[in-house]
Amino acid sequence: MKYALITGASRGLGKAIALRLAKDGFAVVINYQSNREAAEDTLKQVEEAGGTGELLPFDVSDPKAIETALESWSTNHPDDYISVLVNNAGIRQDNLMVFMQEDQWNRVLDTTLNGFFYITRRLLKDMMTHRNGRIINMASLSGLKGLPGQTNYSAAKGALIGATKALAQEVAARKVTVNAIAPGFIATDMTKELDEAELKKLIPLGRFGKPEEVAALTSFLASDEAAYITGQVISINGGLYT
């Protein structure tokens, strides 16, 4: 059995990715922090589609909680390892820099950037030992071009892109690939408060993306067919920024 861990998989992009990877034959490990009801719904949909999954709650910004959860998982799966990691969990705390509070800065970086570090470091050794692994980091258009009101979010996602490129070079010899996906405006809970009608005018394809389209790209990067792709940042944004 091949296992894939998706952080922040109770809804939005994470949920779509979990459903797609389950369809691809992975046993999906569905991480969530607090919304157990939504996570259970994701698992239910995975199982109704004929897939296999399990829930693994922890806060991605808490290294002790991560260690406890992943150690428990390893104990329950002594002959297995997680070969695909999708670092998807992230939050927004938008504000103009001049008004931004320390907590808004720290929470965003703790979740996106430190979460990537804590979880990836913990799972990387097994991938390298087995000489097989896929690490897929969910970056953002904001991390590539910067967006006003998102200095914290842009900083976190931009740093994640740099980390992706560096780590890819460290682990390539062990046949572990590391790539990032940079979505533009995707129709999820995270973008529901945005003015979609106005923003669509800026997008050459004239619409927001679908979570399933990001999931399809994730599916490819997790597959054997993507074995020669590493250190890349792939945009999926309808042509908004190229």
- As annotated, the active-site residues are 153
Q: Give dist(CA 159, CA 113) in Å, integer.
A: 7
Query: Rounded to an integer, what distance in angstroms lies between the CA atom of residue 149 and that of residue 97?
Result: 7
Q: Which residues contact 104 (CB under 8 A, 6 or more apart)?
A: 93, 95, 152
The separation between CA 131 and the C-alpha centre of its own chain, rounded to angstroms, equals: 22
Residues 226, 237: Cα–Cα separation, whole Å = 21
Compute the distance between CA of residue 144 and CA of residue 198 in angstroms, rounded to an integer. Answer: 21
- What tokens does 209 get? 């993306």
Burial profile 94-105: b = 16 or more Cβ within 10 angstroms, e = fewer? beeeeebeeebb
Cα dihedral 162, 167, 170, 171, rounded to 10, equals -150
Distance, in Å, from the CA atom of 9 to the CA atom of 17, rounded to the nearest integer, reads 8
Q: At what angle do helices 63-76 and 115-130 cross, to 10 degrees?
A: 30
Task: Give the 3-state secondary structure of residue 90.
Answer: coil
